[in-house]
Structure 1
Amino acid sequence: MRAICLFIFLAIFQMAYAQTHSRQELDSTLENLKKQDKLSEWIYQRIAYSAEKPEERLPFLMATAGETWRKPKTNHELEASLNLLINQGYYQLYTGNVLQSIEEYERAHAFYQKRPLDLDVVEYVLKPLGNNYTRLGDYTNAIFIQKKSLEIARRNRDSLSVASVYNNLAISYKSMGDLKQAADMCLKGFSYLTKNSPLKGLLNSTLADVQFELGEMEKSSASITEALDILSRDKQDSYTAYWLLSAYTLAGNIEQQRGSFAKSRKYYQQGLQLIEEKFRGGRRREKANLLVQTGNILIKIEQPAAALVAYNRALQTLLPEFRSSAIESLPAENSLYGENRLYDALEGRANALLELNKNEPALSNFLLALKAGSKARVEFSDVADRLYYQKQSKRLAEKAINTAFALWQKTGQEKYSALILRLTEQTKSRTLSEHIERNRQLLSNTNNPLLKQHSALKRAIAYYEKEYLLNKKPSISHNKEEVQHKLSLLEKEIRKKYPSWNKSMDKAESSFEKVINEIPLGTRVLNFFWGTENVYLVTASTGRIDTIIKIANAPRLNRMISDYVERYFRRGAAAMTNHPEKFYSESQVIYKQLLLPGLRGIKQKKILIIADDILGYLPFESLITPGRYSPNISKWPFLLKKHPIGYAYSLQTWLSASSQKSSNPTFSGFFISKAEGGPPIPAVEEEARNLEHLIQGSQFIDKEATVKNFSQALSTSSSLHLSTHSYLFGKEKEPVLQLSDGKFFLFELSAQTKVPGLVVLSACGTADGAMATGEGILSLSRGFTAAGTAGVVAGLWNINDASSAQLITSFYSKLQKGNDASTALHQAKLDWISQQHSNHALLLPYYWSSLIYIGKPQTINLKPAASYSWTYWTLSLFTLAIFAGFLMRRKSRSSKE
């Protein structure tokens, strides 16, 4: 196969161009080629000229396509146009611009797909594109492209290319934290190589990185030593020089971890020297990384001033226009771009400034680092990648909060308290907020062809994801990945064409000084941030932040709450029933540590809890406030008795929620009283009967509660009730609802554009799910909120059937009396604990505190069911009227006779 090799083209045209000594001569040459209509030669002249000084001449290269006088026609001209895109991608990366490099390689890939040319597409398009996605942190797209590369390389029986792709896959899986898969990719790569192949050095380097992450330091050290031996053996070309550079960097990281700082710095210095010798000032990202790592060592050996110099050099490498004339100097915010190395350099700079007791400039650098990370995050189309970023950024946000809190304590300035609130918001449910905002945009632009296509692709992804979970066929997974990549490219197109689309990503950056003004009167917000070291509680009410409390020793508190929830709620009622006094005491301790400082002097009646991390599993209203223990449970001072409590995923999502008013309110209820092969569940049957007598609407019981009927009710009902089995499916722990003829998964809600305003999930654990650090619990209730539901009633654990049926009936009854949904549930619980029960233990929180209301309080219009007494009297009167008419006709007939 005759392959287009950009390096061969560069060599040819640089030699041909050697006689041209000025831009003036080049312009003359280009003009002559244009007059002769020699398009391909004209393009190659510009490529060759730009390659001599790529950093300086990149703008000239990027202007090439815009200055062409016609479209390419011949194969030679098409090859030249494709080669231009490849070179643009290569030199954008060379000068450190990953985002622009990705865009050029994506254009090259699209060009090749439309016009397949005689090109090694794996080597010159797919590999660099996949690696760029990995650099950005867009691992879903990276793995998709790398798998595509692997497929082509195998088809071509190109063993070197196959091994190289396995290496890239290993890097992607390692970056995602899937170390077992990463190690497996390395081993598969080795199987395709001969003994003396330089690629063995690359694979050893990647394997060393995986072993390093696994904590296998001796193995990692041995692997990197072998890698350095192989890669240093011969004279390096551009490929092996880059591999050697990566090996030097990793070797330094390993020695840094082992505490051998002198050896580590030596490796970093060798890497910097290699960059100067082989890349003529290019490879900015790699150079910045080496400088950041050098700074990290200097921090560890207590030389923060020297570390600051290293971090500044890293910043200047990535932002050539930045000049650090003083400690307080900052890069301009508009100069930032989505780049992980920029994020690292700014974080390192902040750490050094903290060591120098420069808290204010340190905080500014932390905030800029988060801003740079957000710019990269915009490019991620897959939710998993955004969630992974949230987890990483929360660590940095905690440092920023710690710094802002120290400044707030010292100065009392409101700007620091407002900043802490904003940071607590940015580190929770951000992906959820974006989903809500984008769903609104889809609803308001239903005729937009691009957004229609976006909705169709989301539906396709949900379909393939469900099919794969149920059938585990690799072909289904491949189809899903194809559609996900199409969605990624479509979203980039939408962002360019419709800037308003980005508002969903920018909203989390908005001013929370303004947001607190929207908190309703009479409500106090308790907004938690759960860090690795400390827990912060920010309390706010209308127009102000009331206080900020720092609670030390987050790991100890995490263990305490986790054990409390597991023992007293998740495992059933036994521990609470058998040891009520112990439960009382432990509950009171948690209340005093978590809530008491934030509720002192409170005048508001309503409390909004915005939980974080482990707190998402805690039923706050069941906590015991100060007071002496009594065997009489009805006298226990539950928080429920003092304040109505609602829950929200974030202040942003709560305030932005809007009730979906309907002129024709419709209610749909789904009830499955029989589990597979099991006896009927009396409580579900009772719940169905009670609601049938209470609310006018459609009921789907047992066999009628199908996936089809449920899907239809989702888009046509204003209120939806579900009393069926819910659980976490498979090793993925995907929340799922079991319907009569199949399953409905959480991710299927992401394809919904219209959902009910109120959803009541009277099922087991519907507020439960996997914990995503920095985002929250990925539950069914969260899925409905993401799709646009304003309020959800959901269960934190497997609720007691008898109590739940009565609580739910009471809840709906109070809704019909005009109470908002949050207040209705609160009053239903108060009624429960004020009742006389045959079993006194039913007053324990296990039986009544599982169901919680998540979302903005809203009044729901439910049509009452037709009254049986009214129906009876209507029928009776109707019957009497008929009988009276009959008698009158008979009497009239008799008189005539």
Structure 2
Amino acid sequence: MLLKRAKAYSNEKIYDKAIADINNVISFYARPGSHVELKKESLVEAYYRLGYNHGSRFDFKEASDAFKKGVAVGETLPGCRWTSYCYSIWAYITSASGEYQRATELAEQGMLRGKTANDVDGYLENWYEKVRGLCEIEENSTAETEVVAAIAFARQQPGQAFILAKLLLFQARLRSRRQDLTGVLRCLYEAKRLNEMEKDTEAICESYLNLGFYHLKFNKLIEAERYSKQALSFADNTYLRLRIQNNLGYIYQRQNQFLKALAAYQAGLSGILGTGAVSGIDKLPEPQLIRLVSHKEFIISMIQDKAETWLNFYKTSRNPAHLQQAMDTYQLADRMIDYMRWEQTGTLSKLYWRKKTRKLYEQAIEACYLSGNSQKAFYFFEKSRAVLLTDKLNELSARLQLTPEQATFEQELRERINYLQLKLFSVSPKSTAYQKTRTELMARQTEFEQVIKTIERSNPQYYRYKYDNTPPSLSKLQSYLTTQAASLLTYFVGDSALYVMKVTPTETKLIRRPVDQYAQSMQQFLPLLEKSSMQLSEYDAFLKASNSLYRQLLEPMLLPGGRVIVSPEGFFFPFDALSRSARQPQFLIDSYAFSYVYSASLLLKQKPVAVTGDQDFLGVAPVTFASSLGQPTLIGSDVALEQARRLFASSTLLTQQAATRQGFRQHAPTTRVVQLLTHADADSSGREPVLYFADSLLHLSELQAEQEFHTQLLVLSACKTGIGTNQQGEGVFSLARGFALLGIPSILTTLWSVENKPTYEITNLFFKHLADGLPKDLALQKAKQEFLATAGDERQLPYHWAGILLIGNPEPLHSSGNWMYLLPGLGIVLLLMGVWVYRKQRKQPQRPPAPAYVSFRGPLPTLVSGLQTAFQSLLPHIGRSRT
């Protein structure tokens, strides 16, 4: 009776009374003997209704908690239809927070429960949520297959007009991505007819809203305005009104009615945040206020459109105040993106938002360029790239703030989640093991989220480290560049323009170039760069493309010679292979020592790795590989490691059959310099990069579960370790980036299928110059220059030497107390101490003659004795394994 009354209250939107009745029901189940008197199915229904009512008043956290509890009980009751309902609305709420990947997983689980309970309603509701998630993360092909199948199934079921109409809206969205306006309108008109037949006012509003949106998308502005106003007349839901006002604002912007557009945006924001939050078209709401609301994707879209309106308004008015409004509004949108990202856990969802908001950063940089504001431009450059990598490294720093017990528990949960993810990847989706693993994985993810939230409340330092992603100021960057005697070059490749920015210790410069010219030069340059035969046969074309890129990216910047740190947009390519001349090779390797960073923020945030490793050098060279791996022998790789180890006081070599995956995982985290001479496999197709060992291979995703690394420098002497899928707005997901996620500050990597002999030569020369105390970028430049000094004609081609890049911190290796760094200073100290001992002994009385087997006399043996005494006195301070 209480549940039925709660449902009646809910229908009348009296949510407080409904929740009170439901909580009363739930309390019954805590009474002794309740398991005999009460059905568990009713408890699942109670949790469903509790979540539904909390969600109806936009209390999504309480709603999610209720659905989780309902699922926990319902999973033990295979025939309970309420379980699938809990999943469907939980998936909807998860989508509303931008967690589309997780929402898809929840919906799939809900479909399974609906099928088991033979419940068509629950099955279709979850299928709809699955289609929504796939559409949002732009898995278009899979989404198209699913929505066609779901619509066909819904047409065969009586009483499913409502869900059929919703599925048709997603089919319209997918057809619009194929530019099929006729197909879009056919879906929308059928959905509208079904909604009108059901007399569902909110659904009718949604139909008109979509008709307005798609007419706007296909540039039919008059029809778009008409349908949007019709939608507004039906709109009772505040979020629907927000979306409609956003559409109207964008329509007015396209018509250059900027003040009318801004008023529409203000009306939409006021409806969500309250009239006091936005008191005028030139006022922005407080970020903390926005953080409290749900459906942030709608608000981000509106604020981004509002910023674009201010920018376009400025282009017409030339009023600097309008340009300032645009920059301030873009910065607010950027803050909101941070909030959304912090609330998400799925990588696919985060990558989706990086891609979706890319236009925002291009427009923000354009506004800064027009205003001549270098400080703000640098801010948006930094916020446009490698944010997920920064988040992950912030998390590593944050974990240092935990107690040992918290850290252990958190690590165990992480490892369990990682194991379950890998297990899920390896079993068939149709198997029982798949469903069981997925259920456990979801439970562990939920547990992990709860643990982190508890730690954040009790440990503010953890929270500060984890979420500190504010880019450094230009002055801080310039101070760093002063200490390094270096310059920084950063660039952004937009849809309409290429922006290039230089920062030196004393000045900054921002330029804009046509993006088509850059794209054409890159299209010519990259294929010729990666193949020796093509570079040789089309050398003139290669030089021309190389010089074109030089003139676009470097020549206008007038960079001083010496050290240059490059923060590229997206993927890396070797700047030292650019030529000053289009007719003859004048490569920049002669003038600049280049290093590369994922972002300047990462470079400045990275702290020197504590010198606490067990040894100085680890070399791994399998030479031959297990037959099942199908990899050719790497002749001479073990010999190259033998040459490298001589420069280090303590070392371990894993060669031949000892070069196992487990051996690497055991020794690498506690070694300061690690070199891998092996095979790797990667491309830009989306396939996961892998690294080969003698017995097996290592996937990029597995690196996330590694223990804390104390490695200062990782040398990946394998093919294509810097290649991977280029995720827009985030960069290339390569093996090098995977190791960077572990906190390794400097990585030497490769961009194509490099040849063994040049790689071994350059790497050993690099180690030699590191031993002389040079910074890593200068050591690599000198190594390449020395290689070129003795290389034959064909080996002068950039293919042979330019594919080796330094990513990360370019500073010299930090001293560990070993011979590599102490020899010059130690020699002087020993000499001075020896002289002191010698002089002291000369002042002492003569001793009896030495035994017959000691025949040396005079100052030399005394000096040698003094040096020996001094050396022995220093032994305890040199460190273990140094005797």
C-alpha change, 1:489 and 1:372, in structure 2 (3 Å) is: farther
> What SS does structure 1 have at the residue aligned with 2:689?
strand
2:350 is matched with: 386
Deviation at 1:428, TM superposition (A): 0.6
The answer on whether the counterparts of 1:72 and 1:81 sit within 8 Å (CA) in structure 2 is no
Residue type of the partner of 2:208? Answer: Y
Where does 1:476-875 land on structure 2 (aligned, <5 Å)?
Answer: 478=435, 479=437, 482-483=440-441, 486-487=444-445, 490-498=448-456, 499-504=460-465, 506-513=467-474, 515-521=476-482, 522-542=485-505, 546-551=508-513, 553-567=514-528, 569-570=529-530, 572-600=531-559, 602=560, 605-613=562-570, 616-625=571-580, 629-630=583-584, 636-660=585-609, 661-662=611-612, 664-674=614-624, 676=627, 680-695=633-648, 696-728=650-682, 732-755=686-709, 756-835=711-790, 837=791, 839-856=792-809, 857-859=811-813
2:285 to 331, 334, 346: 331
Deviation at 1:48, TM superposition (A): 9.3
Identify unmatched segments of 5+ residues in structure 1.
15-46, 277-282, 409-415, 631-635, 866-883, 886-897
C-alpha change, 1:252 and 1:88, in structure 2 (3 Å) is: farther
2:194 to 206, 230, 236: 230
> What SS does structure 2 have at the residue aligned with 1:714?
helix
> What SS does structure 1 have at the residue aligned with 2:511?
strand
Deviation at 1:353, TM superposition (A): 2.4
2:229 is matched with: 269
2:377 is matched with: 420
2:827 is matched with: none
Q: Provide the C-alpha distance between the structure 2 equivalents of 1:681 and 1:323, rounded to a whole number of angstroms.
A: 66
Residue type of the partner of 1:655? Answer: L
1:21 is matched with: none
Q: Provide the C-alpha distance between the structure 2 equivalents of 1:113 and 1:502, rounded to a whole number of angstroms.
A: 29
Residue type of the partner of 1:490? Answer: F
Q: Could you list the per-position Cα deviations for residues 565-608 of structure 1 after superposition, in whole angstroms to 9, with x for gaps in the alignment?
A: 122x22x11232234343333212211110122234x3x63111
Residue type of the partner of 2:546? Answer: S
Residue type of the partner of 2:353? Answer: Y
Residue type of the partner of 2:231? Answer: G
TM-score, normalising length: structure 1 = 0.81
Residue type of the partner of 2:488? Answer: V
TM-score, normalising length: structure 2 = 0.82
Q: Provide the C-alpha distance between the structure 2 equivalents of 1:525 and 1:305, rounded to a whole number of angstroms.
A: 40
Residue type of the partner of 2:397? Answer: R
> What SS does structure 1 have at the residue aligned with 2:550?
helix
Q: Provide the C-alpha distance between the structure 1 equivalents of 2:246 and 2:785, rounded to a whole number of angstroms.
A: 58
Identify unmatched segments of 5+ residues in structure 2.
315-321, 821-852, 855-883
1:456 is matched with: 412
Q: Provide the C-alpha distance between the structure 1 equivalents of 2:93 and 2:732, rounded to a whole number of angstroms.
A: 31
Q: Provide the C-alpha distance between the structure 1 equivalents of 2:174 and 2:371, rounded to a whole number of angstroms.
A: 40
Q: Provide the C-alpha distance between the structure 2 equivalents of 1:63 and 1:590, rounded to a whole number of angstroms.
A: 70
Q: Could you list the per-position Cα deviations for residues 628-655 of structure 1 after superposition, in whole angstroms to 9, with x for gaps in the alignment?
A: 845xxxxx43222212211111111111
2:176 to 203, 212, 215: 212
Q: Provide the C-alpha distance between the structure 1 equivalents of 2:727 and 2:363, rounded to a whole number of angstroms.
A: 20
Deviation at 1:713, TM superposition (A): 2.0
Q: Provide the C-alpha distance between the structure 2 equivalents of 1:209 and 1:79, rounded to a whole number of angstroms.
A: 37
1:136 is matched with: 97
Residue type of the partner of 1:460? Answer: R
The answer on whether the counterparts of 1:336 and 1:372 sit within 8 Å (CA) in structure 2 is yes
Q: Provide the C-alpha distance between the structure 1 equivalents of 2:504 and 2:188, rounded to a whole number of angstroms.
A: 56
Residue type of the partner of 2:501? Answer: V
Residue type of the partner of 2:536? Answer: T
Q: Could you list the per-position Cα deviations for residues 416-468 of structure 1 after superposition, in whole angstroms to 9, with x for gaps in the alignment?
A: 3111111111111111111111112334536133x434323332344344455
Q: Provide the C-alpha distance between the structure 2 equivalents of 1:270 and 1:120, rounded to a whole number of angstroms.
A: 38
2:390 is matched with: 433
Q: Provide the C-alpha distance between the structure 2 equivalents of 1:803 and 1:481, rounded to a whole number of angstroms.
A: 50
Q: Could you list the per-position Cα deviations for residues 302-351 of structure 1 after superposition, in whole angstroms to 9, with x for gaps in the alignment?
A: 32222222111111111114454443222123212261111122122223
C-alpha change, 1:219 and 1:251, in structure 2 (3 Å) is: same
> What SS does structure 1 have at the residue aligned with 2:729?
coil
Higher mean displacement: 492-501 or 553-562: 492-501
Where does 1:160-239 land on structure 2 (aligned, <5 Å)?
Answer: 160-193=121-154, 194=156, 196=158, 197-198=160-161, 199-236=163-200
Q: Provide the C-alpha distance between the structure 2 equivalents of 1:851 and 1:776, rounded to a whole number of angstroms.
A: 18
Residue type of the partner of 2:324? Answer: E
Q: Provide the C-alpha distance between the structure 2 equivalents of 1:103 and 1:559, rounded to a whole number of angstroms.
A: 53
Q: Provide the C-alpha distance between the structure 2 equivalents of 1:203 and 1:628, rounded to a whole number of angstroms.
A: 57
Deviation at 1:488, TM superposition (A): 5.2
C-alpha change, 1:713 and 1:477, in structure 2 (3 Å) is: farther
The answer on whether the counterparts of 2:668 and 2:674 sit within 8 Å (CA) in structure 1 is yes
Residue type of the partner of 2:350? Answer: R
C-alpha change, 1:306 and 1:592, in structure 2 (3 Å) is: same
C-alpha change, 1:77 and 1:359, in structure 2 (3 Å) is: farther
1:398 is matched with: 362
Q: Provide the C-alpha distance between the structure 2 equivalents of 1:340 and 1:718, rounded to a whole number of angstroms.
A: 44
Residue type of the partner of 1:658? Answer: K
Q: Provide the C-alpha distance between the structure 1 equivalents of 2:55 and 2:276, rounded to a whole number of angstroms.
A: 19
2:874 is matched with: none
Matched, 1:351 2:308: yes
C-alpha change, 1:439 and 1:562, in structure 2 (3 Å) is: farther
Q: Aligned-pair RMSD on alpha carbons?
A: 3.4
1:299 to 253, 259, 277: 253
Deviation at 1:131, TM superposition (A): 0.9
Q: Provide the C-alpha distance between the structure 1 equivalents of 2:179 and 2:228, rounded to a whole number of angstroms.
A: 21
Deviation at 1:712, TM superposition (A): 1.0
Residue type of the partner of 1:456? Answer: E
Q: Looking at both structures, which has the greater relative contact order when contacts are Cα pairs under 8 Å and sequence separation is at least 6?
A: 1
